[in-house]
Structure 1
């Protein structure tokens, strides 16, 4: 009995020792796998191609640098450097965009422009030149190849050797770009209403300065259209002409751009009021021109000249109010299996508005907010499942950006 008991005890100790050894081996294997995976993730790098050197394309390139996961970065644009950096149009960057860009190394203290509140106004060419200079300073971190004056075409694609294909392509070549079709990505769009009506106007005055200026906003405007047979007083509301009224909603006006290139955006929430119906369906194109003429003179800055009958013919504007619509691509990210390439589409190449508010760059930058995580996940992907999960997350974010703007974008950029 004693020998049997000793034998059982010895077997028990042996089993415990074997289990402990097995557990230790499993733990060591798991720890080694985690360590090796960590090393692989730290060392993982991907080559990346950005098509388009506009504000969104350049910001996308800076996101790639910041990710630390890009070995080679190539930037293409069909425009030459002079054409790219000589653009005089003004852009307005909001607080959210400023925070995003500062994290990418953009130094607004050394960028020509002006501030008003939490917004920064500068010329688009100046902004692009600064982003290019920040990008060029990253040559020590990765291999950088900037090719301005080079168009992304079928011929360009054919000349890329199989071993040199980028793992990630970011398409940011604007609303008229053809890069997506070159890559075989569907150009189908969803078109949705932003629940508002609007009209735009542009005034060029060559005798004025081409310097950035803060935008001007005026709210709750009413227009006296009784001369055209529209009398809103019959519905119990007094006709106020070009005045502000704090008691009920009206039109919202924004004046923006440089003194030389002045732009105006007029908008109102969607409604079926008599004035809105008239301005949406009138065949008299001079009515909108008169409204913009009066609006500009009423709300312009004190230091710029009024618009008179001699300069009025330089004013170009919408013929009537139109419904503000957002168009966004059904496909904003894709995997090209044969070439093992991931494509993401950003900026106006992905989503466009038929109404200009002067804040379009901010809209494009929203789409880049998930790009750093996307690049990291693609660079460290083990298999196609990892790639598809990263693509799904990027597509969900892109759809959310469009939906958020459709719901709140016009109200945030014009109505507030």
Structure 2
């Protein structure tokens, strides 16, 4: 009995030990599970809090922006900045006074893409002097600038906007800015003759590329005509009578009726644009080595191009415009001969001023210039602004310099793409179609 009792007690002790071990394992598993769950919960809470704080930080992030230049591109850049929702303070500078800006009579043509872009910024074309034709909007530069300035005035209730006309951007101006008021972003839009880039120490080197076309320009100023916006006139497949100069000819200012001849020799494209008082003409053709093109590129007779523009204007002008005659021909000024159409764009079109923590982007004719006036030059400048809003947003929420560099890199790539696209297809849409 004692032996049996001893064995039973041993078995009970073993069972008790096994039960104790199982209980401990369950407790360890429960503890591990609780620990894992707590850790996951802590990580989840951390992530949620961090994401929330990041979103709050991004939502509250605001930067100070300085726009240099109050031309069509500069004022549009100011609207883009306000539209980004990331601007605490916006300053617009221009060394010209308001009267000098608003009296500019030159006409601009906004293509459908630019119209859509501007409409999204709040531009009200229905309340702007101008006219529509083929989904293009034609108005005077001064009228366009005045409308943009009025929009900016309305935005002052939401954003601290300062417009300083008659103030030049210079080293002296920068020295007067307190360190705490330095802009985080500077948009340079002071034109091809502006000095802002040199003030900021940005290289003035340009990349010059051919658009594979030749062109010539002419202007007519007649003070007795109206200063109102008018649709542009386009004519294609033009050939000119140069037989007097020993060159094979087609009827002057007329479209060729011989389709076979038209395929052999490249035709010219003509655009007449501007107001009746300030008329502009652009003549262009794809690059070729035809006898006529060679002759017009190298002729030393300055009267040839004048005669071509004279006859072309009289052939394609509107019915209500007076013709040019021998007495009024002195109003016509034009290129002496055909020249190669070139696009120049800055090698450095965005930069970072490290010591002052300022990101700089260059827009409009300060960034890229065409040596041939097509009448749609503003559109080329507005193309570059299509990525400005994203650039401002990314710069505003940047955590460090690497984030700013990424924003600058994307802006640089877009600017290069704008230049390349125009070089490849720009004349096709503005002149050849």
* TM-score tier after normalising by the smaller chain length: over 0.9
Which segments of 5 or more consecutive residues in structure 1 lack a partner in the other structure?
233-238
Between structure 1 and structure 2, the one with the greater Rg is 2
Is 1:35–2:52 an aligned residue pair?
A: yes
- With normalisation by structure 1, the TM-score equals 0.98
Aligned to 2:398, what secondary structure does the other structure show?
A: coil
Is 1:206–2:217 an aligned residue pair?
A: no
Is 1:304–2:321 an aligned residue pair?
A: yes
> What does residue 252 of structure 2 align with?
241
Aligned to 2:386, what secondary structure does the other structure show?
A: helix
Within 5 Å, give how 1:139-154 maps onto structure 2. Answer: 139-154=156-171
Aligned to 1:328, what secondary structure does the other structure show?
A: strand
> Displacement of 1:163 after TM fit?
0.9
CA distance, structure 2, for counterparts of residue 231 and residue 188 of structure 1: 42
The structure 2 residue matched to 1:174, chosen from 164, 167, 191, is 191
> Displacement of 1:242 after TM fit?
2.6
CA distance, structure 1, for counterparts of residue 424 and residue 90 of structure 2: 36
CA distance, structure 2, for counterparts of residue 137 and residue 61 of structure 1: 13
CA distance, structure 1, for counterparts of residue 269 and residue 134 of structure 2: 20
> What does residue 138 of structure 2 align with?
121
Residues 80 and 388 in structure 2, CA contact (< 8 A), matched pair in contact too: yes
> Displacement of 1:13 after TM fit?
1.1
Within 5 Å, give how 1:308-319 maps onto structure 2. Answer: 308-319=325-336
Q: Deviations for 1:248-298, whole angstroms, at most 9, x for unmatched residues?
A: 240000000000000000000000000000000111111000000000000
Which segments of 5 or more consecutive residues in structure 2 lack a partner in the other structure?
1-17
Within 5 Å, give how 1:84-103 maps onto structure 2. Answer: 84-103=101-120
> What does residue 79 of structure 1 align with?
96
> What does residue 155 of structure 1 align with?
172
CA distance, structure 1, for counterparts of residue 270 and residue 183 of structure 2: 45
CA distance, structure 2, for counterparts of residue 339 and residue 383 of structure 1: 14
C-alpha RMSD of matched pairs (Å): 0.8
CA distance, structure 2, for counterparts of residue 90 and residue 33 of structure 1: 52
Within 5 Å, give how 1:394-409 maps onto structure 2. Answer: 394-409=411-426
Aligned to 1:140, what secondary structure does the other structure show?
A: coil
> What does residue 429 of structure 2 align with?
412
Aligned to 2:241, what secondary structure does the other structure show?
A: coil
- With normalisation by structure 2, the TM-score equals 0.94
> What does residue 367 of structure 1 align with?
384
> What does residue 236 of structure 1 align with?
none
> Displacement of 1:160 after TM fit?
1.0
> What does residue 126 of structure 2 align with?
109
> What does residue 291 of structure 2 align with?
274
The count of corresponding residues between Structure 1 and Structure 2 is: 410
Q: Which runs of 4+ in 1 moved over 4 A?
A: none
Within 5 Å, give how 1:51-70 maps onto structure 2. Answer: 51-70=68-87
> What does residue 348 of structure 1 align with?
365
> Displacement of 1:241 after TM fit?
3.2
